[in-house]
Amino acid sequence: MQAGDLIASDSRHAAPSDAELDRAWQVLDEVMDPEVPVVSVTDLGIVREINWQEQQLRVVITPTYSGCPATEFIEQTISQALSEAGFGNPIMVQQLTPAWTTDWLNQRGRDRLEAYGIAPPVGSASKRTLLGEDPVVRCPHCKSEHTEQLSEFGSTACKALYRCIDCREPFDYFKCI
């Protein structure tokens, strides 16, 4: 028996069922990324799978970048949110394959990013080429497509730094990988 089991074994403890799995997904819809707090972990597509392993909920997540320092924090936040919603101590599994891609970022996440001032990834990750043309990135502020890249890398591993030539505002671009 683990320490958290005593707390989790109250009347709210979820029994294995498909309905409860749906409820777990809804809980995770409200767990936000710590560095981009407008998109949820499900918007980002980093929760790959939720299922039951006997009586325990098993959550499979995948990191966005190999060195993303937020991964452990996200794992804890997910685990805590599920515990508070009556799911006991979920089993957290990290999985590298298949590698996370921005193609998994859903439309709601893309809209939320742009509203927050971060340009969402342009195009599909699978069609990117090494020394190909840079994508046309739309300014999240004035919607101009007249923008330029300042740096391939920005404030976090997942972003690049851009500037709008029309409204002159700098902005982050969520890189396509």
- Nearer to another protein by Cβ, of 8 and 158: the residue is 158
Closest to 60 measured CA to CA, from 86, 101, 90, 31 = 90
Tell me whether residue 19 or residue 96 sits nearer to another protein (CB atom): 96
CA distance 63 to 44: 10
- 3-state DSSP assignment of residue 52: strand
Say which residues have a Cβ less than 8 Å from residue 144's Cβ, sequence separation at least 6: 138, 164, 165, 166, 167
Least distance CB 153 / another protein (angstroms):
4
Question: Which positions lie near another protein, rule CB under 8 A?
Answer: 63, 65-69, 96-101, 125, 128, 130-131, 150-157, 161, 175, 177
- Closest contact distance (angstroms) between CB of 74 and another protein is 14
Asked if residue 155 lies in contact with residue 172, where contact means CB atoms within 8 angstroms, the answer is yes
CB of 177 to another protein, least distance (A): 4
Closest CB to another protein among 29 and 35? 35
Q: How far apart are CA 93 and CA 162, in angstroms?
A: 35
Reference 134, options 120, 124, 148, 146; nearest CA is 148
Task: Please say which residue, 1 or 131, places its beta carbon nearer to another protein.
Answer: 131
The least distance separating another protein from the CB of residue 17, rounded to whole angstroms, comes to 32
Instruction: Say how far apart CA 156 and CA 143 lie, in whole Å.
Output: 23
Q: How far is the CB of 109 from another protein (least distance, A)?
A: 19
Q: Given the complex with another protein, which of 6 and 67 has the nearer CB atom? A: 67
How many residues are present in the chain? 177
